[in-house]
Amino acid sequence: MPIIEMHLLVGRSSEDKARAASAITAAAAESLGVKPDTVRILITEHGKDEFYVAGRAGRASDQAAAEAAQQEATK
C-alpha cells in the first residue's frame, strides 16, 4: 500500500486538493502497478510562517525561490 505525503501552503481549496490527490493516485497506481484503492495520500498544510526557503519564511521564501531559480537558469 503506497502512502504519499504532500506538504502544501495553506490556501488551496478542497477541490484543488482533491484534483491533486486524484492525479497522484492515478500516477502512483500506474507506475507502481497497484490498484488505485490501495494508494493513500496524506496532505499536511502549513502557514507561510512555517515554510522556509534559503532560511527565509513567508513571502521572503517566495523571493528566495525565485532568486535560486534565476541563478540556476543562468548556469
- Give the chain's domains with CATH numbers: 3-73 (3.30.429.10)
Distance, in Å, from the CA atom of 15 to the CA atom of 37, rounded to the nearest integer, reads: 19
* pLDDT in single tens digits along all 75 residues of the chain: 999 999 998 999 999 999 999 999 999 999 999 999 999 999 999 988 888 877 888 766 667 677 777 888 887
Residue 66 makes CB contacts below 8 A (sequence gap 6+) with: none
DSSP codes of every residue in 50-62: G-EETTEETHHHH
| pTM for the full predicted model | 0.71
Distance, in Å, from the CA atom of 74 to the CA atom of 71, rounded to the nearest integer, reads: 5
